[in-house]
Structure 1
Amino acid sequence: YASTLATSQSSISLNILMYVNAVGKSHIQFAEKLIDLLNVNGHKVDVIIGVLNSYVTLEGSYGARKLVAVKFPGESPWGAVAEHLKNPFVELSDWVRLKPDTNKFMETCHQMCDLLLASTDVAELMSSNTYDLALLGAYDFCPFALAYHHKISPVVSYTPTPAHFFQQYHAGLPELPLYDNVLFDTRHADYSIFATRFYETLRTFKERWMFYIACESANAKMRAHFGDNFPDVRELVMNASFDFTNSHPLLEEPRPISHRLRYIGGIGLPKARPLSKDINNILDLSKKGSIIFSLGTQIEPDKITEDLRRVFVRTFKRFPEYNFLWKFDGKTQFNATNIFNLEWLPQTDLLYDSRVVAFISHMGLNPFTEAAYAGVPVIAIPLFGDQIVCSCSTMRDAPLHSARPS
């Protein structure tokens, strides 16, 4: 029944515990969509949020019945060293990522686990309610161990990204190093086929080693906290009933799958609504159509240097027959009649408007999915994470969504 919880009306109202890894704002937004859909279908959702990224701000309860947010007392270890968050336009070499000390994310998850174990709010929430299901972010072992300790089952893992190593490995699926890299894809780079495969093989070994270290660390932590008989955390993850992945099979690389892996890409995708009068007026001004430009929620205006802004402005001014709707700050003057600086864009509504002829995007998973469903041509500017893989998939799958729905 787990695969239909969020998509169909049910006469059964379940109590669900959800753990959210707050890695980025888009991860919170995806979790909020799941919570909304579960609420609509009559289920009650309590949420624990582990704020791994200090740059993520939490707003409200996100529709949860009860919410516990666990934060680092200062800046998170990952946010303090995550260069891609501080300087998103500085390219990091693929080979640098192979260094053993480059992955602070797992270390941050490890320290977050200490905070979760020490939190009386987390312990009270998990022990004072009888839950029918645990829906857990698939980034580390800690939430699975806590669910086991508090006797919450069945367990379903989910990820706001395409399926990655953590889910595939614990589902017992074969590894295909050249195709399984969700976060960093080297096939766009100017490498030979041999060099690419060699790199991806090394990366796979590094990931295995990192997860082995993380697993042994989690085992030691749980046994110190709950006793020596606590089971291996790998077994707990392997016993998950389903793995939800925020992707669509037509938009992913071919890969081995099993009954555990359920594609839910596009779930909660909002329907297009009528545009405001101001936006309609902008779209009507263009001779050949309008182009929307957005680099996502993690790229604040101050991360785009003045020199880079000038490059974008000069480029857009060379196409006066098109209007550019740029999600920026709503204040900066660009001194161009065809560039409209907007603090917020109704992105979904715009993508389904026939006057919008292209989308310039960082190609995070959300805009990738929205553009694919809307059938809008994309100019990709990937910066980090799964944006690179989504951009490669956009080029590969272009024939699949080149025709817009009528």
Structure 2
Amino acid sequence: MKVISLLVFAFLFVKISESSRILFVFPSPSKSHLIVVKGLSTTLAERGHDVTVVSPFPLDKPMKNYRDINVEIPQDEMEKFNTYVINNPKPNMFKLMPALFSILFKMSDNMFESEEFKKVLDEEKFDLVIIGMFFNNYLLGIGDHFKCPTMILSVTGTMTMLNVLVGNPLAVTSVQHSFFESGNMGTFSSRVANFLLHGSDYGFIALCDYLFKDRYNQYFPSDRYISYEEAKKNISMILVNTHFSQTYIRPFVPAMVEVGGLQIKPTPDKLPEKLEKWLDEASQHGVIFFSLGSNAKTSFLPTYKIEILLKVFSQLKQRVIMKWESDELEGKPNNVLISKWLPQDDILAHPNVRMFISHCGLGSVVEARYHGVPVVSMPLGIDQIKNAENIVNEGWSVKVDFKNLNEKDLFDAIKEILNDPRYNSKAKTLSVLYRDRPTSAREIASYWVEYVIRHRGAPHIRYPGTDLNFWQYNSIDVILFLLIIAYVLFKIFIVVMKMLMSKIFKQKKKSKTN
């Protein structure tokens, strides 16, 4: 009897601990985006799952249960794109978006033309596909190819294009649009502007769908795969890189879960010896960390802006760690350490870091918030402008106009944060709020990934609103119907009243005649 019990227990243990095969697909040119993705993919591999990641950025060191499939980036186009962004803090979106789409389309073509990825499509099976969502709805047919559930991981937070996929309410009267520049939603004019911005999203989505549908049909022919419209509805869950303490409070359906901070490691990695020594020896005045993100190259800045940065840094008592993509930097002050690549999260975790000068990408803002480091904001454009505005309004950042960068403004901003303890205090307070959660972002995300696998796509959490079109979802057809009914009833009322008045008038006239 004991032997049978042990065999049953062993069988159940094997079934419970059985690993799943998970495919991450993220042909994005942004390394910072992939850092967020890897926060989840590596955690799942550590939990025993068989993980395959399709991206341009493989792991630095091989890992058990983890396989990378490389996707080539069109380097020439990417460099032109980054140069344009870094030199145009408020870029022309009619130039920017076509250039970005061209890069993304070419990367997807490179992925499907890759012999290694073709082999995966032809020979392998997966229990779950996770798409790193970045203007690439045309990849949603991959889940149908493997006949398995599809999840989305959004590294950029929530936006209308994502909300409509799972029926997440837009709440236009109370939730600010990502491009809404004012923090005050109480005035009528603000609500009108917010409403129009949300409404314009539908036009942008329609344009994207027009472009994406053709590409989807190219990758997933209609005779073998579900339609583009069906693929958009075939999403089990969306994980978004936000936390309620960092953004405006908004409602969520069960199929959209916040997992902000995926890229943050539970314990920081040991820093390279040179970098660690530079930080450890700066206990008296501390260190300022300067980085414009993984995409923008500081070495591409105009010469006069580089000179401004170096001149300001040379006047500081603090040491400076600066991301610089070349081996040499002419005119570099002695208090500046340069490096082509820097472990941002690990640096911000060091207790001697006093300040972060950042472009305010979402990942950078999240890491600064988590570690309680005040920020000098130098947004380069797109979502970064809004991110910078948010943290300035929260009281732990000072913004510098990067387009019109000058020595005085930068120096004053740095000194204001260094000399006013309120910035550091506010950053520490927000850090406590951000960290206060039942478990880590990686554990939360891993739980929901395994939940979707366990329940074969978790169709029971699917919101019925995803089956409704724009007119139905917003009850526009119902409102029009009721208006028509009201109009008809009003017309009937008018006719009846005219008849009654006419009859009454005739009776009065008749009585007078008599």
- TM-score, with structure 1 as normaliser: 0.78
Indicate conservation of the 8 Å contact 1:248/1:263, yes or no: yes
Q: Cα 1:109–1:303, aligned 2, differ >3 Å: closer, same or farther?
A: closer
Shift of 1:290: 2.3
Question: For 2:312, which of 308, 311, 315 is the aligned residue?
Answer: 315
Corresponding residue for residue 25 of structure 2: 19
Instruction: Tell me what 2:360 maps to.
Output: 363
Rg (Cα) greater in structure: 2
Q: CA deviation at 1:215?
A: 4.5
Output the aligned Cα RMSD.
3.6
Match of 1:140 among 136, 140, 155: 136
Q: CA 1:87 to 1:111, structure 2 compared with 1: closer, same or farther past 3 Å?
A: closer
Contact 1:170 1:234 (8 Å CA) reproduced? no
Distance 2:89 2:346 in 1: 34
CA distance in 1, matches of 2:306, 2:330: 11
Instruction: Provide the secondary structure at the position in 2 that maps to 1:137.
Output: strand
What CA distance in whole angstroms lies between the structure 2 residues aligned with 1:245 and 1:91? 28
Q: What are the ranges of 5 or more consecutive residues in structure 1 without an aligned counterpart?
A: 1-9, 52-56
Amino acid at match of 1:291: I
Counterpart of 2:70 in structure 1 is 69
**Corresponding residue of 1:6:** none
Give distance in 2, aligned partners of 1:30 and 1:101. 24
- Contact 2:28/2:104 (<8 A) preserved: no
Total equivalences in the alignment:
377
CA contact (8 A) 1:324 1:339 kept: yes
Kept in 2: contact 1:16–1:44 (CA 8 A): yes
Is 2:204 the counterpart of 1:207? yes
1:295 partner amino acid:
L
How far does residue 42 in structure 1 lie from its aligned partner after superposition? 0.3
Q: Which of 164, 167, 170 is matched with 1:169 structurally?
A: 164
1:170-185 matches, cutoff 5 A: 170-175=165-170, 182=178
Aligned residue number for residue 4 of structure 1: none
Matched, 1:159 2:161: no
Aligned to 2:244: 249
The CA deviation at 1:235 is: 2.5
Q: Where does 1:279-358 land on structure 2 (aligned, <5 Å)?
A: 279-280=276-277, 284-285=281-282, 287-319=284-316, 321-328=317-324, 329=326, 331-334=328-331, 336-358=333-355
Shift of 1:134: 1.1
Bigger share in helix: 2
In the alignment, is residue 122 of structure 1 matched against residue 114 of structure 2? no
Judged with a 3 Å threshold, the aligned counterparts in structure 2 of structure 1 residues 18 and 219 are, in CA distance, closer, same or farther, namely: closer
1:384 and 1:105 map into 2 onto residues whose CA distance is 14
In the alignment, what sits opposite 2:474? Answer: none
Instruction: Give the AA of the match of 2:353.
Output: V
Kindly provide the amino acid, as one letter, of the partner of residue 46 in structure 2: V
C-alpha displacement of 1:330: 5.5
Aligned residue runs from structure 1 range 217-296, under 5 A: 217-218=214-215, 220-221=217-218, 225-227=221-223, 230-270=225-265, 271-273=267-269, 276=273, 279-280=276-277, 284-285=281-282, 287-296=284-293
Deviations 1:145-187 (A, max 9, x none): 1321331x221111222123332121112336795655x5645
In structure 2, the partner of 1:40 is 46
Paired residue type of 1:272: P
Partner deviation per Cα, 1:362-396 (whole Å, 9 max, x = no partner): 12222211111111111111113432232223224
| Cα 1:124–1:390 shift into 2, 3 Å | same
- The Cα of 1:359 is off from its aligned counterpart by 1.1
Structure 2 CA distance for partners of 1:23 and 1:291, relative to 1, 3 Å: same
Structure 2 unaligned residues grouped into runs of 5+: 1-15, 184-188, 397-425, 436-514
Amino acid in the other structure paired with 1:19? V
Q: Is the 1:127–1:150 contact (alpha carbons within 8 Å) kept by the matching residues of 2?
A: no
> Structure 1: how far apart are the matches of 2:110 and 2:196?
35
How many Å separate the matches in 2 of 1:278 and 1:121?
37
Preserved contact between residue 166 and residue 255 of structure 2 (Cα < 8 Å) = yes
| Inter-CA distance 256–278: structure 2 relative to 1 (3 Å threshold) | closer
CA shift, 1:41, in A, is: 0.2
Which deviations, in whole Å up to 9, do the C-alpha atoms of 1:296-325 show, x marking residues without a partner?
222224212321111112222333x32222
Pick one of 428, 433, 445 that aligns with 1:402.
428
Q: 1:226 to 1:378 in 2, by over 3 A?
A: same
Provide the TM-score with structure 2 as the length reference.
0.63
CA distance in 2, matches of 1:196, 1:120: 49
Deviation for aligned residue 1:263 = 1.4
Following the alignment from structure 1 to structure 2, what is the Cα–Cα distance between the partners of residues 289 and 219? 52
